[in-house]
Structure 1
Amino acid sequence: MSKSRYAKGSGRPPVHLASINTEDSAAGHLVFAGGVCGDRHIPFCSRDELLGMLKDLILARVPFSVGGMCPGPADEVGLLIDNAELTGACIELSWIGSQQWMVRESANASGTWQQEPDASQIANLMFNPDSLKRSD
């Protein structure tokens, strides 16, 4: 049985998907935050392109922010996984205190959690959002 894993960090969080913004029925942009580059907006033109980008992010082990007062990207991606529109395990990023964060990877049907000493063993801490930009 696989164990769910988590790691804690402090200071600036790693680059993570902070929000999924749709401007109409299909187009919108992904907003990345964290890291040293500041906020980055990466546009998508269709639902298929959005799903492709989210699939790439899951495979690249990029953290998805959990929601607070409203659903966050981790919640939205979780629904897409539950509806079989995406597969894989999304890495969640949440805040546990001032300048303190945690990344989590849940294993299916796991009842135990294992702490990892280094967040890079769970999540891609060096992701460049510009790598998602599609060339026309």
Structure 2
Amino acid sequence: MRPSNRRAAAFVLASVALAGIAAPVVAQRAAGPEHKPTKKVAEKVTLFGSTCRTAIEGSRVVAYCHNPYPESDLVQLHTECDRWWDIDADGSPVEVGPAQTVRLTDRCWKEVRAAWVSHHRM
């Protein structure tokens, strides 16, 4: 390499390094303190939703849902059957109270393609 090419390469490398160091500082200044979440916003968030475990065994589906939160949760089991002639099903909604566990079951005539549980606030 000629000396001018070496200088140019060193200059580009130094510029990239300085830009990498300066970028976080500039981004932090742009955000400023007014964009930080306040304590009031954090207090308004309430945890919600039961924890559900779903198991598929052949043509049967079983889901156990436990609600560890103080608010009630409304859960519903949805079953999608594998065969085209087998009817998919949406179970009836069940209320899961605080510290309560419920069992949801459903079945298809033949194989089950998929099963999931939906949650709704009461």
The TM tier, using the shorter chain, reads under 0.3
More helix as a share of residues: 2
Larger radius of gyration between Structure 1 and Structure 2: 2
Give the structure, 1 or 2, with the largest relative contact order (CA under 8 Å, sep 6 or more): 1
TM-score between both structures, scaled by the size of structure 2: 0.22
More strand as a share of residues: 2
TM-score between both structures, scaled by the size of structure 1: 0.20
